[in-house]
Amino acid sequence: MLRLFFRRLLESIPTLLILIAVTFFMMRMAPGGPFDSEKRLAPEVEANLRAAYHLDEPLWQQFGRYLWNLAQGDFGPSFQYRDRTVTELIASGFPVSLQLGGLAMLIAVVAGVALGSLAALRQNKATDYTTMAAAMTGISVPNFVLAPLLVLVFAVYLGWLPAGGLGEASLLEGGWKNLVLPVFTLALTQVAYIARLTRGSMIEVLRSNYIRTARAQGLSTLTILFRHALKPALIPVVSYLGPATAGLITGSVVIEQIFGLPGLGRYFVTGALNRDYTLVLGIVVFYGALIILFNFLVDLIYGWLDPRSRE
């Protein structure tokens, strides 16, 4: 277990390095720079700006400098948000995205697995068709259509929930209201995916010999489901969950835009558009590290779900 952890840690270093290098040089290849605007800067000002952000150095030297600072946990200053460092921006954006994505994923897993199992048990019956039709709709309706509709209904017309923002109140004192619509929108697509995945693998598991044996022994459906079928049926779901969770908790730009939430996703896109090199790199590195972490967690969960995969 500990050995596995250290092996993964060592393996992740070259992966991250490649990721950083590719992102670093791709950003630099994009036309336009962080200080390009319609205004032409006075040459002296531009030279000073470039020097302040070390853009006047050769590219390999900038890359080395970036790696060196990164090794010390410094993501550098943001080009776009001049008063902030990238570390500060990630520190302010990540908790929001984590809360949003974490809640959405939690709901998605519980609801998705329940619905998927139900559909599998009632395969080719009305319940199955209804659930899967609903799941199909959930997958097909894009969140950028759903979200504005929900806001119109629940915030503008009914006035039950806020139309956007994170609010100033803490979660328990009413701040949760700000999360209802975004979490629901985010969760819906995931519920649909997870339900379909669960249904597929559950049907397969329910057909296997050991389940038939269990049935023959007279075990109740619920016991079979929870004691014997659920764990193996969850394996494909878990492999989907790793990257999906990493994706959700690093922020969804669409949801953040529509609901005006201060998460990481917005930084990523505005950063790329404004050639904010350090901000984009910082988020990519952060995102990459998270994916590696989640893949590691997925492997651990595999081991628990399927003893065969432990060695």
Partner 1 sequence: MTQLVAEWRWWLPALTAAALLAACSRPGDEASLPTPQTVQVGGASGQELAAEQILRKGNGAEPESLDPHRAEGVTSSNVLRDLFEGLVTEAPDGTLIPGAAESWTISEDGRVYTFKLQPRGRWSNGDPVVAEDFAFGLRRSADPATLSEYSAILYPIDNAYEVVNGSLPVDRLGVRAIDERTLEIRLHSPTPYLLGLLTHSSTYPVHRPSVVKFGDKFARPGNLVSNGAYGLQAWVVQSYIQLVRNTHYWDNDQTVINEVWYYPVENAESELRRYRANEFDTTETVPNRQIPWLRKNLPAELHIAPYLGSYSYGFNTTQPPFKDNIPLRKALAMALDRDILVGKITGAGEIAAYSWVPPVTGYQNQQPVWATWTQEQRNAEARRLYAQAGYSAEQPLRMQLLHNTEINHRRLAVAMAAMWRDVLGVETEILNQEWQVFLQTRRTRIDTQVFRYGWIGDYNDPYTFAEILESKHGLNDMSYNNPRYDALLLEASREADPAVRMGLLQEAERVMLDDMPMLPIYYYVSKQMVKPWVAGYESNIMDHHHSRHFRILKH
Binding site for partner 1 (CB under 8 A): 30-33, 35-45, 47-49, 52, 80-84, 89, 92-93, 142, 144-145, 148-149, 151-153, 155-157, 159, 162-166, 168, 254, 257-263, 266-267, 270, 273-275
Provide the minimum distance between the beta carbon of 289 and partner 1 in the complex, in angstroms, as a whole number.
22
Query: Which CB, 80 or 239, lies closer to partner 1?
Result: 80
* Residue nearer to partner 1 on the CB measure, 3 or 39: 39
- Total residue count of the chain as it appears in this document: 311
User: Quick one: tokens of 161?
Assistant: 């929930």
By C-beta, is 167 or 232 nearer to partner 1? 167
Q: Are 302 and 238 in contact (CB under 8 A)?
A: yes
Q: How far is the CB of 283 from partner 1 (least distance, A)?
A: 13
Question: Are the CB atoms for 207 and 224 separated by under 8 Å?
Answer: no
* Tokens encoding 14: 């070259």
Q: To the nearest whole angstrom, how small is the minimum distance from the Cβ of residue 260 to partner 1?
A: 5
Q: How far is the CB of 307 from partner 1 (least distance, A)?
A: 45
Q: Which CB, 137 or 223, lies closer to partner 1?
A: 137
| Closest of 139, 147, 124 to residue 194, by C-alpha | 139
Report H helices in 72-167: 86-121, 126-140, 143-151
Residue closer to partner 1 by CB (options 165, 307) is 165
Distance CA 105, CA 136 (A): 18
Q: Give the dihedral of Cα atoms 62, 64, 66, 72; nearest 10 deg.
A: -150
Shortest separation between residue 52's beta carbon and partner 1, angstroms: 6
CA distance 169 to 176: 9
